[in-house]
Amino acid sequence: MTKPATAALTAPHHLSYTYKRSLGKVLSAFFTALRDRRFLGIRRANGSVLFPAKEYDPDTSESLSELVEVGPTGIVTTWVWVAQPRRQQPLAHPFAYALVKLDGADTPFLHVVDAGSESKMATGMRVRPRFCDVPKGAIDDFVFEPA
């Protein structure tokens, strides 16, 4: 294969847009509570509590409406250490992605644990939330840290 006489042109491209998601009754309550530094799960017909709150039961598709406050502390059920965060990841320094089961919830959810070092992480460890100064009602209003 012959080498081209001139190199191909390259250019940085940036594609971005912001879409607005209308939250509906259940998720509106969930994110409003989050802005107030509270965590809302939702109860299923079998009595178990889903966190984050969902509009529908994932098994039976029944509508759900009984919001239940859970947390704010919880336990790590599994985790992975991010030693070299990429630019758009939640923290600029090393952190863990973990499944955290909040006290009172029956399902774990994926979130950030700002533990400082991998040696501080362990399955079964307890964590507590640390909120930003002005929560706006979004999932990145808080991270977890070792409790």
Partner 1 sequence: MSAKEEQASGPVMVLSCPISLDYAYSAGQSASRFLRAIAEGKLLGQRCPVDGRVYFPSRGSCPMHGVTFGDDAVELSDKGTIVTFSIVRVPSQNIALPLPYITVNVLLDGADTILIHVLDAKLEDVHMGMRVQAVWKPREEWTTSTANILYFRPIDEPDAKYETYKEHI
Q: Which residues bind partner 1 (CB under 8 A)?
A: 4, 6-23, 27-29, 31-32, 34-35, 88, 136-138
Shortest distance, position 143 Cβ to partner 1, whole Å: 18
Q: What would the DSSP string read from start to end of 24-68?
A: HHHHHHHHHHHHTT-EEEEE-TTS-EESS--SB-TTT--B---EE
Running DSSP on this structure, what letter comes out for residue 102? E
Cβ nearer to partner 1, comparing 14 with 93: 14
CA within 13 Å, CB half, 129? 23
Shortest distance, position 50 Cβ to partner 1, whole Å: 19
Shortest distance, position 23 Cβ to partner 1, whole Å: 6
Shortest distance, position 118 Cβ to partner 1, whole Å: 28
Q: Residue 129: what are its φ and ψ, rounded to 5°?
A: -80, 150
Q: Residue 81: what are its φ and ψ, rounded to 5°?
A: -90, 130
Running DSSP on this structure, what letter comes out for residue 84? S
Cβ nearer to partner 1, comparing 20 with 46: 20
Cβ nearer to partner 1, comparing 26 with 112: 26
Cβ nearer to partner 1, comparing 120 with 136: 136
